[in-house]
Structure 1
Amino acid sequence: MGKTGHFLLLFFIIWPGITTETSGQQSALTNQFMSRPLILNPAFAGTRNSVAIDVYSRQQWIGIEDAPSFYSASIHFPVNESMSSIGGGAWSEQTGPFMYNRLFFDYAYLLRVSRRAFLSLGLRIGADHFNFNLQKLQLIDYNDPEFETSIDNEFRPSWGAGFMFYTPGIFMGVSLPHRPVGDLSWSSEAAANFESAREIDLSGGININISKEATITLGAIHRMVQNDIPTTDLGLMISLGNGIRAGVNYRPDYAAAALFGMKITREIDFLYSYEFPTNPDQPIVKKGAHELTVSFNFTRWIKYNRNRIFLKKKVEKEELNSIRYF
């Protein structure tokens, strides 16, 4: 299948998800969206040109019993001698009596738009597992019928898709990180009534080189969630040549965060962020949230592929010399 075929195939897969009213589980909020975690967009697969591994944790409202916690791990890498990439991962989210787990596998295809621009197209398939144990709740009325039936170990398939366009100076993308396949005849009645929100993420940013050793990145992500209030994150990150990163993130009317990261070795680095509330009308979140990502980038197994890197000079076609020069 050629470049046009890959583009059309993934376009007609993602477009119905944008225009229809099916449901999807909302993805977790993160202040580290500018590091392009795979959980936000399957089109990120392979864009680091390495065997890329990320282990992520978000601990929210430290000190409050049954506060939200989120863990994820992912791996992705380009397929040697091709423009395809594969990846996958898992996450686990728990809030009080509710536990939600997800396993996903990604495929992405990279299209060269010009010598300094790429378009990555991503497709995701996965499976969800969720458990909602209402028996853990302390009820005022134990005869309330709304709290009689728990959801125990339910599974359902899911899918996602996304685009990402990037150059050395800009990046922007759109994704449907996760959409369940509904109307499952084998699901319980309680699971069938479990509704989740449709979500579309729009992200983008610019990279500004202020010197040979320093780059400023300005980024934003806007989450549009069905029947819920949309959220927007605005971020700024300064990256130095020695691997140190520092930045801030702001979620209007909700929270702000400070970020710091650095390289531990040539192949390993970490990024930490602390989020604190900015809205005095939400006292429960005054404890803040901690996020930590440990990333690995192994290049020893990846063959050099000139078609995947930015080209500084225009490629010239080789001309056949006259036979007299042989």
Structure 2
Amino acid sequence: MSSSHESATPDTPAVRTRRNSGRAVLGDVARLAGVSTATVSRVYNEPDRVSPGVRERVLQAATTLNWIPNAAGRALASTRTHIAGAIIPTLDDQVFASQVAGMQAVFASRGITLFLGCSNYDPAQALTQVQAMLARGVEVIAIVGEAHPPELFDALRQTRVPYVITYAYREGSPHHCIGFDNRAAYVEIAEHLIELGHRSFAAVIQPARDNDRVQARVTGIREALARHGIAVRPSHMHEGPATIAFGRESLRAIWQGSDKRPTAIICGNDQLAIGVLLEAAELGIKVPQQLSVTGFDDVAIAQQIHPSLTTVRVDTAEIGRRAAQYLLDVLDGKNNTESGVVQPVLMARESTASVPLSG
């Protein structure tokens, strides 16, 4: 006489308790999906080797049985952990959240989990987080920017974990970079304003220390202006938090602290530029008639604010997708020769105009 266990259908509680654990096991998922246990493993370890229909059946069976693959068991069976890491400066900035979303989409399609660390622009924190990720067996890592301690890159080389630098690109870098040339982007911004006739400039930027992207942007501004015999006065160069509040504070200090007022202000990001625009309205400064303002990133509000903000658009989600694909190609032994440059685009809007004749 058969027992109730033997007569149970695969998706009944009886099956889930067969191993006396109260949980479904890999074999239960295989039976419910009508595939072998090897196919179930392949769906989670090498999903690209399984047809979409079979993959969907297995995932549906796993959901029905509330079964989750054991990460440690998967790692032992395949010598892989299926974990990727990403270190970003902050989650408060839309551009990095967008990059992470792009990476996540590509990694998830291959059954890879993304671990995320935020360094808060502190190189020591970035090093600690990379070390922690390596200890947990991440297979690949994406890191924003090059300005990190040598120990960080030494650790990656010693463990032979593939990595990629994101949100920055420069010729001659010893690292594989996927991003854009920050210096060239700010040369373009400065040249745009110079073509409009501006000769008196201010800059409101993020802290440059330990931030190679900001350092490159400042270099771009200075190089472009120097070619025309122009320089930013020290009192017109403001460095501080990448916030609306600091943008407002900086414009107030610039406007009230000098008889020689700039006709154009170049900002390190859109948050700072929006702060400048808001404070300009408060002080009765007409933009762009008296003052041209530029930002960077092209956040959603940049086009909606009045006047709409001249800024630079960077497809940060594309940077994330390409970074993840590059790392997957390395894992697969493929030679990815695609250029790492994601081209930024200057979005000329209402906040910039020709310098007034009386300026």
Structure with the larger RCO, 1 or 2 (CA within 8 Å, 6+ apart):
1
Whether the TM-score (by the shorter chain) exceeds 0.5 is no
The TM-score with structure 1 as length reference comes to: 0.25
Q: In terms of Rg, which structure is larger? A: 2
Structure with greater helix share of residues: 2
The TM-score normalised by the length of structure 2 is: 0.23
